[in-house]
Amino acid sequence: MTAALRNGVRVRGLRRVFGDRTVLDGVDLDIAPGEFVALLGASGSGKSTLLRALAGLDGSGSGEVDVPGGRAVVYQEHRLLPWSRVWSNVVLGLRGRDLRERAEAALAEVGLAARADAWPLTLSGGESQRVALARALVRTPDLLLLDEPFGALDALTRLNAQALVADLWAEHRPAVLLVTHDVEEALLLADRALLLAGGRIAREYTVGLPRPRSLDDPEFIALRRDL
Ligand code: ADP
Ligand code: MG
């Protein structure tokens, strides 16, 4: 394996069965280091199951799953611990020196330096998702897994959060897999969009640079038609 590929994702023939239901039926997927990939698909098509496999949270599938060691996940629900202050949530489970400083630096990147000592229950939904992003960032992941991270946010908060993710990605360049229902979001943020259907990657759209893209882009029109 070349150095350039070392921190990429390579999945071959991934199968995951629940009872008599085959949810993933031979998924092949590559994500290059620093690439931003969106994963689209109907509800129940297995997007979160695939993301969990990449996160290393589900070892029960079969097939080949080769992912970088440094991974971080952001879910639709922020999953902050209400009894830990914001900064402490950011570095939860980490060890080492200067945890407070590291948390503050990550919070500054998401515009929440002033809320380090706040309790999670005093934050808005958008702020909570920013803390969840800071918690991912502080781990300096090679692969950032985002499972419909903006799904619970109102429209304006979602736009701000999308812009923040775009900025953070440009700054840190982890590989990203973004699970989303939202075609516009995929087009706005991703280099490529994949459609998960029938337990496989059924289509791939090379949405391509530069951003922002035109809604007249033929790939965009094809993508909307297929969904
Ligand atoms: P998506 O994220 O695309 O909406 P999921 O990956 O969450 O879909 O789920 C895909 C299918 O797998 C669904 O039918 C769901 O009920 C089933 N499933 C997911 N996780 C489990 C589980 N732990 N046990 C049984 N069935 C599951
Ligand atoms: Mg899901």
pLDDT of residue 78: 85
Instruction: Give CA–CA dist 97/181, Å, rounded.
Output: 40
At residue 176, the pLDDT reads 97
Residue ranges in the chain modelled with pLDDT below 70: 1-6, 208-217, 219-220, 223-224, 226-227
Of the candidates 34, 28, 37, the one whose C-alpha atom is nearest the C-alpha of residue 6 is 34
- Which residue lies with its CA nearest to atom 16 of ligand 1? 44
At residue 227, the pLDDT reads 66
pLDDT of residue 81: 96
DSSP state of 126: H
Contact (CB, 8 A) for 112 and 127: yes
Taking the model in full, what pTM does it have? 0.90
Comparing C-alpha atoms, which of 146, 175, 179 is closest to residue 39? 179
Residue 117, phi then psi, degrees to nearest 5: -95, 5
Which residue has the least CA distance to atom 23 on ligand 1?
18
d(CA 80, CA 82): 6
Ligand 1 atom having least distance to the Cα of 179: 2
Query: Residues lining ligand 1, CB < 6 A?
Result: 18, 23, 41, 43-49
Query: Residue 69: what pLDDT?
Result: 83
| ipTM for this model | 0.98
pLDDT tens string 197-215: 999 999 998 875 455 455 5
Task: Kindly give the interhelix angle for 99-109 and 125-137, rounded to the nearest 10 degrees.
Answer: 120
Looking at residue 28, its pLDDT comes to 97
Residues contacting residue 58 through CB under 8 Å, at least 6 positions apart: 16, 49, 52
**How far is the centre of ligand 1, averaged over its atoms, from the C-alpha of 81 (Å)?**
25
